[in-house]
Structure 1
Amino acid sequence: MRDTKKHRKVLIVSASIGTGHTQAARAIEEYWMQQSPDTEITHVDFLATDTLSFDNLLKETYIKMIDVFPMMYDLVYRFSQGERKGGMIQTVLSWLLKRRMLRLIRQESPDVVIFTHPFPCGAACILKRQNLIDVPLIGVITDFAVHQFWVYPQLDAYYVGTEVMVDELVKAGIDCSKIHVTGIPVRRHFFDKAIAQYALTKPVRVLVMGGGLGLGSLESALQRLDEVAAIDEFTVVTGRNTSLYEALLDMKERMQTPVRVYGYTTDIPELMAEAALLVTKPGALTCMEAVTVGIPMVFFNAIPGQEEANALLLEQKGCARWARDIHNLEDVVTALLINPERLQNMSQQARAWHVDGAANIVSSVEAMLSAKCTFETIGDLQENTPQG
């Protein structure tokens, strides 16, 4: 008889295109280890490979397209969003990556595989369709809109951020019973730094971020925000973009407002908690981290497609304002900083909405695995029961 409380082996697969997918994976891993230390969890960045590999070329091309050619990204996004066109691109990417995915799954022999990025997910779904693997596959969507790249009938479960995404997946042909609204997973440190009661106090610090890769018009944004008299100090995070970091170190000497410049840092929860306002690109993971802390947000330079959907949702929730044109950024920020009551309300709306996505996902997966083990145990008993 199998033990339904057996030692779990969990494989979490992310992809280092931006930091959101990886941070979401770490949030799940972190919470699971706190709750169940005996669980064996392996977290793999599927695109962390040698410089000359196809996978790394794919990642670097994707990142450069977003950073340097946003209009090209817009065209690719909209071209691939349709079922027929998106399915064609899905198939190409999945077949190119499936051999290494098969090697990984055979090597790890997990009880379940959890994906936070659609590229490796697609490769695993091809393998399952071909009956080369039979392990449960789970997709965690780290945006607030569903892209065609995530639509795979071979996935056993979807974890999504909003009810609207359930409708989007059902319209794409996914069985409703597979879809669970859990929220996007956020690391524990952000919960530890949640603001109990927001208040606009002196000095007024504004945190400016461009995503974990430091993409976006940060220099232009800072130049405009430097004209806002209500700001006493900037904290700027450039992520892993070392050239931007160096440029901002030079630029801050010419600014009238004091600036602290950080590269990649793990202190984001503390920086959010001490700031009056976050000005950022609307990556979904950054948004949910800010929602968890309870800091009001202003969005700029949204990437067409997913980030525009993120910005619209957060604005509708009352947690943020979206400066759709960067030329209006200083006006949007000024209007908020001279209205402390509105900032306080935005903070309250954020804290009222946030959910513990990692906890919800881990609880659901554990229940799924326990049910699977129980079903297999019943099957074993039936096979071993003498007949007649």
Structure 2
Amino acid sequence: MPHRDDLASEPAPSALPLGSGPRRIVLISASVGAGHDGAAAGLADRLTAYGFLVDRYDFLDLLPARAGRLLCSGYHRLLTWAPEGYQRLYKATDQGSARPGALWRALFRAAEHRTLAALPPDTCAVVSTYPGASQVLGTLRRRGLLTVPALTYLTDFSVHAMWVAPGIDAHLAVHPVPAAQAHAQGAAGVTVAGPVTDPRFTPATTEQRAAARARFGLPARVPLALLVAGSWGVGPVRQAAAEIQKTGIAVPVVVCGRNQALAEQLRQDGIEHAFGWVDDMPGLMHACDVLVQNAGGLTSLEALAAGLPVASYRCIPGHGQTNAQALEEAGLAAWIREPARLGPVLTELLHGPRGQAQRATGIALHESAPGPVPAITERTGHELAPAAASPTVRHAGRQRLALTAVTAAAAVSLGVAAPLAHAYTKVPARFTAVAHYLDGDRR
């Protein structure tokens, strides 16, 4: 990870007048799973397409003395070996009045110097896709040490209290549901910007589906349920796969991420189509008919872009369950809470109007939103430049996602929810935060 240690050698970035000055934006994500990095990669592609220079940093590398790697390892172990412990930690930290706690404040304080030192002097904005980085950036803004706008792109569909950082100029959400949750917790500049997914995630044609099934060695003529469990392959995946198979409604196709041992266990269990890390997830989604997930992260948004109905099942604790609830509130995914409902819901999603409605809503989510670029650009003081032909992203050790040209709608006014066409015409009445937010109750 590129960084500079001599904080005093260069001036801190400063705000720029409209249309002048540098066009460098720094993105700070975290290699905790793959969702935060995936969102940052999507943002990088869109920003570079419009003429911005983009640097990316891993927040774990900005923490001193390998504390970031220890934090990531501890989180992984909790999810794997003591999920009930993670649930307690998640709830304990999801308290806005005590956000963040003393231990977290000390950890974030240790990253402040390295974060500020990492920013080139021509930086015109910093965007975080990880709550810890947002907390650090918000503190630096409040203390006047960071003088350019700092924005948070909310990668989760539900908003944990740690996502909302005082001092952050704007919180960008993928949908009115997380926007309303962020607003209810006092987030500044809440804006519905829409998702950022690789443009290869599109609905498959009949020919694409047949070719993808042949390429992955999948059955040609039966419904396929793509079961995912994040890049770490955590949660009761073996149980979920066996239960999908037992329904006889769809053949499970399981992606285990980097958990190769899980893939081998599944094959021993009689789950024929179990994969480790898959580089061509767009192709695999083209081959399948429905997504079953347990965390509600970026893969869910990718499936919606690909026209797959989504079901949440046997969700991991913490964000897995809150994301499942938020996706259900938005009408974007069915949350299957009981095993007895697995078969009937899969049938509805594969063959019934429920699945058709989810497909339409998911595609509309991606087609109707302006994307985050206009909201970010407005804060930088720049005009939105035409898309470039060959952008480059400076980010050592990671492969960029494919470039996409985004057709930007009119500039988004921060603090006002974008009306994302027919995708959001029916908000569940019980979700009162959304109702208040869309009705204009924005403190």
Change (3 A) 1:108 1:216: farther
Instruction: State the partner residue of 1:380.
Output: none
Counterpart of 1:369 (choices 380, 386, 393) is 380
How much has 1:48 moved relative to structure 2?
A: 4.9
Distance 1:241 1:330 in 2: 25
Greater RCO (Cα-Cα under 8 Å, separation 6 or more): 2
Q: CA deviation at 1:46?
A: 1.9
The whole-number CA distance in structure 1 between the counterparts of 2:43 and 2:324 is 24
> What is residue 100 of structure 1 aligned with on the other side?
114
Mapping of 1:8-23 within 5 angstroms? 8-23=23-38
Q: Who is 1:225 aligned against?
A: 244
Shift of 1:221: 1.2
Alignment of 1:310-329 (within 5 A): 310-325=323-338, 327-328=339-340
Q: Residues 173 and 344 from structure 1, CA distance in 2 versus in 1: closer, same or farther, beyond 3 angstroms?
A: closer
Matched position secondary structure for 2:27: strand
Q: Which 10-residue stretch deviates more, 331-340 or 269-278?
A: 331-340
Contact 1:70 1:303 in 2 (8 A): yes
Query: What is the TM-score when the length of structure 2 is the normalising length?
Result: 0.72
Quote the Cα distance in structure 2 between the aligned partners of 1:146 and 1:338.
Answer: 30
- The whole-number CA distance in structure 1 between the counterparts of 2:106 and 2:64 is 21
1:139 aligns with 2:158: no
Measured against aligned partners, the alpha-carbon deviations of 1:91-150 in whole angstroms (never above 9, x if no partner) come to 233213223212212x56521111000112212222233332212111001112222212
For the 8 Å contact 2:177–2:330, the answer to whether it is kept is no
In the TM superposition, what whole-angstrom CA distance separates every residue of 1:133-175 from its partner, at most 9, and x where no partner exists?
2121110011122222122221111101233444433443334
In 2, Cα distance between equivalents of 1:173 and 1:317: 21
AA aligned opposite 1:210: A
Q: Deviations over 1:214-257 (max 9, x none)?
A: 111111111222212233x4322111122223323433xx35xx
Q: Hey, what's the Cα distance between the residues in 1 that align with 2:280 and 2:274?
A: 13
Aligned-residue offset at 1:334? 5.0
Q: Distance in 2 between matches of 1:302 and 1:134?
A: 40
Counterpart amino acid of residue 59 in structure 2: F
How far does residue 270 in structure 1 lie from its aligned partner after superposition? 1.5
Q: d(CA) in 1 for partners of 2:122 and 2:316?
A: 37
348-357 vs 95-104, which moves further: 348-357
> In the aligned structure 2, how far is the partner of 1:132 from the partner of 1:123?
11
> Is 1:81 aligned to residue 94 of structure 2?
yes
The amino acid across from 1:202 in the alignment is R
Alpha-carbon separation, structure 2, partners of 1:338 and 1:153: 44
What CA distance in whole angstroms lies between the structure 2 residues aligned with 1:48 and 1:216?
Answer: 27
Partner amino acid for 1:280? Q
- Which structure has more helix as a fraction of its residues? 1
In structure 2, the CA distance between the partners of 1:170 and 1:208, relative to structure 1 (3 Å rule), is closer
- More off after superposition, 334-343 vs 56-65: 334-343
Give the Cα–Cα distance (whole angstroms) in 2 for the partners of residues 273 and 152 of structure 1: 38
Seen in structure 2, the aligned counterparts of structure 1 residues 69 and 328 have a Cα distance that, compared at 3 Å, is: farther
AA aligned to 1:31 is R
Matched, 1:295 2:295: no
Listed one character per residue, the Cα deviations across residues 170-226 of structure 1 (whole Å, up to 9, x for unaligned) are: 443334xx1211123222221xx22479x9x92322211111221111111112222
Q: Distance in 1 between matches of 2:298 and 2:319?
A: 12
Q: Structure 1 residues 70, 138: CA separation in 2 closer, same or farther (over 3 Å shift)? A: same
Report the equivalent of 2:203: 194
Aligned equivalent of 1:352: 364
Q: Is the 8 A contact 2:80 2:234 kept in 1?
A: yes
**Partner residue of 1:4?**
19
Separation (CA, whole Å) in 2 of partners of 1:287 and 1:372: 32
Structure with the greater alpha carbon radius of gyration: 1
The answer on whether the counterparts of 2:25 and 2:54 sit within 8 Å (CA) in structure 1 is yes
Q: Which runs of 5+ in 1 are unaligned?
A: 374-388
Instruction: State whether structure 2 residue 57 is matched by structure 1 residue 68.
Output: no
| 2:137 and 2:168 in contact (8 A); partners too | no
Distance across 2 between alignment mates of 1:51 and 1:96: 7
AA partner of residue 229 (structure 1)? G
Q: Select between 364-373 and 8-17 the one with higher mean Cα deviation.
A: 364-373
C-alpha distance in 1 between matches for 2:182 and 2:242: 41
Kept in 2: contact 1:30–1:187 (CA 8 A): no
Return closer, same or farther for 1:99/1:245 CA change in 2, 3 Å cut-off: farther
Confirm or deny: 8 A CA contact 2:171 2:187 kept in the other structure.
no
**In structure 1, distance between residues paired with 2:74 and 2:221:** 43
Q: Which 4+ runs in 1 deviate beyond 6 A? A: 49-52
Shift of 1:341: 4.4
Percent sequence identity over aligned pairs: 25
Note the aligned Cα RMSD (angstroms): 3.1
Question: Structure 2: how far apart are the matches of 1:288 and 1:93?
Answer: 31
- Stretch of structure 1 that moved more, 361-370 or 112-121: 361-370
What SS class does the counterpart of residue 326 from structure 2 fall into?
helix
Match of 2:255 in 1: 237
The yes-or-no answer on 1:155 pairing with 2:168 is yes
Of 204, 213, 226, the residue aligned with 1:207 is 226
1:58 deviation in Å?
Answer: 0.7
What runs of 5+ residues in structure 2 fail to find an aligned partner? Answer: 1-15, 210-219, 385-443
State the distance in 2 between where 1:243 and 1:51 align: 32
